[in-house]
Amino acid sequence: MMGNAIAAIAGAEGAVIEELLERAATDWRASGLKVCGALAESDRIADRTCSAGFLRNIETGARFAMYLKDPPAHTSCHLDENGIVDACASLSNQIAASDVVVLSKFGKVEAVGSGLFEAFVSAIAQGKPILTSVAPKHLYAWQRFAPDAVFIRPERALLEQWLSGVLHCSPQSSSIQAVAHS
């Protein structure tokens, strides 16, 4: 196999990675690939310790809040797990028809089997290429979940190289190979 179907971007700040994922998904869709998934968007509120804002469904544009104004009593974390689960549910009928799945990140809630976890599982079960990101503090959980995944530095050319290798190896590659190189 020329490329692994699961890739995680590592080695940059979250905002840099999110911008890279957004540009890649937009360009791939413009080239004719069927891209589904969820991308993080900041709500641009200053002076917060938590950067959670929204997850946006790539296909529909629907936005799902990930930030709780007041965290639950048992934690200081403002992350709204329910919003992430709702974003994941919005992807359930899109993965089968996609050429590639872009998921904002494998993070704290995914590490315990929640959040976007079911989208990861579904994409893997259907043999879809997955592009995501993983924060250093969740590497152990990620490697247990996807031990054969590759890590990609946050460089656009490397994303293109990964996708090209994966699409050439995929059973559906004959129908989408030309699109990836257009």
- Taking only the tens place, the pLDDT of each residue in 54-111 is 899 999 999 998 876 665 556 545 567 788 899 999 999 999 999 999 999 998 889 9
In-domain check, residue 31: yes
Q: How many domains does the chain have?
A: 1
Cβ(101)–Cβ(90) under 8 Å?
no
Among the listed ranges 10-14, 32-36, 125-129, which one has the minimum average pLDDT value?
10-14
150-152 sheet: strands from edge to edge: 63-65, 54-57, 35-41, 100-103, 130-133, 6-9, 150-152
Cα 169 from Cα 64, distance rounded (Å): 34
CB atoms within 10 A of CB 12: 15
- Tokens 């179907």 correspond to 5
Structural domain that includes position 127: 6-180
Q: Is residue 51 a part of any domain in this protein?
A: yes
| 173 in any annotated domain | yes
Decide if 22 is inside a domain: yes
pTM for the model: 0.85
44 assigned to some structural domain: yes
In this predicted structure, what is the pLDDT of residue 177?
35
Per-residue pLDDT tens digits for 27-54: 999 999 999 999 998 765 555 455 567 8
Whether residue 1 lies inside any domain: the answer is no
In this prediction, residue 178 carries a pLDDT of 34
53 found inside a domain: yes
Whether residue 139 lies inside any domain: the answer is yes
Which CATH number characterizes residue 110's domain?
A: 3.40.50
Q: What gap in Å lies between CA 177 and CA 158, rounded to an integer? A: 17
